[in-house]
Amino acid sequence: MMSEKYYSVEQISEMLQMHPKTIQRYIREGKLKAAKVGKGWRVTGHDLSVFFEGNGDAVEKASTRSNLGPSEERIKISAVLDVEVLDMDEAMRIVNSMTAVLNTKPPEYGRSTMNAQFLESEQKVRIMLWGNAKFIETMISSVSMLVTQETGQEV
């Protein structure tokens, strides 16, 4: 009689090129059948095959780094811009213009956000940005152009 082969979370993560915590999550969610042996989890070869057959496409995507997409989708940047303004009207013009840029962004900018507030006591607009490098670059360039148009001076 053959004995069943058991695999640890670490062995499975190496085989599938996935992080051990991902494997543990699959176990916790009941997607991968496992038994607790001592302090660690063990998965039979049969259960691993069943899991892979049912989740092969998802495992393939998760384990293939090339499916993470271009670097601009993998890197997110946050930025805070403080723009000195003369009054509330100038602040509103800048924020409205930046909102228009945000609302017309192309799909390659991915998920991105902007928050803005007028700090009246400091006479400035604070713009908080989050997104990929192309988005941040476009937004900073837009603010720079808006301020240059207003003052006639380079920023």
Q: Look up residue 73 and give its DSSP letter.
A: H
What is the average per-residue pLDDT within 93-120?
87
Q: In what order do the strands lie in the sheet with 124-131?
A: 77-84, 124-131, 113-119
User: For the chain, what is the mean pLDDT?
Assistant: 82
What is the average per-residue pLDDT within 69-92?
83
Please, which pLDDT band fits residue 149 given cuts at 50, 70 and 90? Answer: confident
- pLDDT of the residue at 59: 59
Instruction: With a cut of 50, say whether residue 108 has pLDDT above it.
Output: yes
Please state the separation of Cα 78 from the chain's center in Å.
11
- pLDDT of the residue at 42: 93
Instruction: With a cut of 60, say whether residue 20 has pLDDT above it.
Output: yes
- pLDDT of the residue at 66: 43
Report pLDDT digits (tens) over 37-78: 888 899 988 888 888 777 655 555 555 554 455 555 678 889
pTM confidence score: 0.52
Instruction: With a cut of 80, say whether residue 150 has pLDDT above it.
Output: no
Least confident of 6-10, 14-18, 112-116, 147-151: 147-151
Name the CA dihedral angle for 20, 24, 27, 32, rounded to a multiple of 10 degrees.
-10
